[in-house]
Structure 1
Amino acid sequence: MDLNLRGRTAIVCASSQGLGRGCALALAEAGCALVLNGRDEDALAATAAAIREATGARVATVAGDIAEDATQEALVAAASGAPDILVNNNAGPPLRDFRALDGAAMRAGLEANMVTPIRMVQRVIDGMVERRFGRIVCITSAAVKAPVAGLDLSSGARVGLTGFLAGVARSVAHANVTINFLLPGLFDTRRLAGVHAFAAAQQGIDVDEAAQRARERIPAKRFGAPDEFGAACAFLCSDKAGFITGQSLLIDGGAFPGVL
């Protein structure tokens, strides 16, 4: 399917690895120019080089913490001030018992996973409305629909982000600007190792056993791959998805047992 994205420019936050990188690669394969972001400058440069080699796409990079104003401004500037696509992504807070969260930790989690993506939307959305095209995809978590112990702060912040942007999405739909949410379950990324380690400690088992138990709870009997997550992101960013907005797409191999 031609997604009609050739010539579009996409900002992909936290994209040097994992799900962010999967989204960036899929958008490059669809013909987008990219502006990538990550804190590790070497990892970011390596990802950019790999995507250029694989796709021939134009790829710019902005190293830095996406929560900082200077980094956000640099990302928009690297997209010539007129990005067509924004993929909001950021690392979640460490897994921990909610009793161990002090005020500073809670504020940091809200800043990273709610405030920062909202600030990025504020920076780009008016231009998208003026140009009558915009696609914003926020990577949240399956824990938005099925909260998990240890991910309480992450779940709360991402639920807040979803609720905040729900009304915004409806306010700009008339201008062919959409805002949607991708909710990953267990994907084969570096973050998953932390999930297994937390589960192993809670259950008194080794990490390999925790991983096997997690895999068995997924009807698909496997963990997700970043490239298939990226494909879903690219579709939501396409002109084919202009009638989809304010939606949360769960990608978890069938792990969530509900029907809504």
Structure 2
Amino acid sequence: MDLGIKGRKAIVCASSKGLGLGTAKALAEAGCDLVINGRDEDRLNVVSVELQKTYGIAVTAVAADISTAEGQKEVLAACPEPDILINNNGGPPRMDFRDLDRDKMVNGVIQNMITPVELIQEVVDGMSARRFGRIINITSMSVKRPIDGLDLSSGARAGLIAFLAGVCRQVAHNNVTINSVLPGKFDTDRLKGGFTRQAEKTGQSLDEIKAVQALEVPAGRFGTPEEFGQTCAFLCSVHAGYITGQNILLDGGLYQSAF
């Protein structure tokens, strides 16, 4: 399917690996020019070369912490008029809520709620004036199904979703959509890191833990960054202009609900 976004300009935050990279690849395949972002400059440059070589699109790599004002300025300077914004950022590490102090909580909210809102504030009026904009927030299934130790991440991401529920409806008439995609268990470094911690704690092998966790998913497997990215790319397409304010679960059926 032609997504109708060839030549559009996209910012993809935290896109040197994982779900961000999967999304960047899908948008590149659709013909978008990209600004990619991450904190590992060497890795980011490798990804930039790979994307340009594979898809023949323009790629600008910005090594910066997107949670900081300076990082946001660098990214927006590289693409001051984006048509597409993919908000993505790492979350706080697993931690018992009793161990969270004020600074940790503030930083978690900055990472997973304030930063996406700040970026949207910067780009949404320009999108509205040009009468095309697609904003995707990569959050987590944990906003619906709590995960032990990720209370701060879940709370901040849920706050973002609630914050944008009204915002998205203010700009929909300008062909600007704002949606969130809620990943479940995807084959990423973050998931593997959880397996490693569990193995250290229980003495089980990584293979055993991986097999048990995969069986919990009705699909019988973990998702891939590639299929995640393709879903995001469709939501950025000309065909998705009537989809806004939605929180789309990608979890292989793990979250059990009729509605």
Question: Shared fold by TM > 0.5?
Answer: yes
Q: Distance in 1 between matches of 2:166 and 2:218?
A: 34
Q: Structure 2 unaligned runs (5+)?
A: none
TM-score of the superposed pair, with normalisation by structure 2: 0.97
Alignment map for 1:136-175 (pairs within 5 Å): 136-175=135-174
Residue matched to 1:40: 40
Structure 1 residues 4 and 156 mapped into 2: Cα distance closer, same or farther (>3 Å)?
same
Q: Distance in 1 between matches of 2:16 and 2:2?
A: 26
State the 1:223 CA deviation: 0.8
Deviations 1:5-63 (A, max 9, x none): 01100000000000000000000000100000000000100111111111011000111
Q: Distance in 2 between matches of 1:108 and 1:206?
A: 33
Say whether the 8 Å CA contact 1:95–1:198 is kept in structure 2. no
Aligned pair count? 259
- The letter for the 2-side match of 1:74 is E
Q: Structure 1 unaligned runs (5+)?
A: none
Alignment map for 1:49-60 (pairs within 5 Å): 49-60=49-60
- The letter for the 1-side match of 2:137 is C
State the 1:201 CA deviation: 5.5
Query: Percent identity, aligned pairs only?
Result: 55
Structure 1 residues 191 and 184 mapped into 2: Cα distance closer, same or farther (>3 Å)?
same
Residue matched to 2:133: 134
Say whether the 8 Å CA contact 2:64–2:74 is kept in structure 1. no
Deviations 1:219-258 (A, max 9, x none): 1111111000000000000110000000001001111111
Say whether the 8 Å CA contact 2:109–2:156 is kept in structure 1. yes
Deviations 1:81-118 (A, max 9, x none): 11000000001111122122111111111110001111
Alignment map for 1:167-186 (pairs within 5 Å): 167-186=166-185
Alignment map for 1:19-98 (pairs within 5 Å): 19-79=19-79, 81-98=80-97
Residue matched to 1:189: 188
- The letter for the 2-side match of 1:221 is G
- The letter for the 2-side match of 1:12 is V
Residue aligned with 1:179, SS:
strand
Residue matched to 2:13: 13
Q: Distance in 1 between matches of 2:50 and 2:43?
A: 11
Q: Distance in 2 between matches of 1:106 and 1:70?
A: 21
State the 1:195 CA deviation: 2.0
Say whether the 8 Å CA contact 1:95–1:194 is kept in structure 2. no
Deviations 1:193-238 (A, max 9, x none): 1222344456564433222211110011111110000000000001
Say whether the 8 Å CA contact 2:36–2:48 is kept in structure 1. yes
Q: Distance in 2 between matches of 1:111 and 1:198?
A: 26
Q: Distance in 2 between matches of 1:203 and 1:257?
A: 27
Q: State the superposition RMSD in angstroms.
A: 1.2
Say whether the 8 Å CA contact 2:87–2:138 is kept in structure 1. yes
State the 1:148 CA deviation: 1.0
Residue aligned with 1:258, SS:
coil
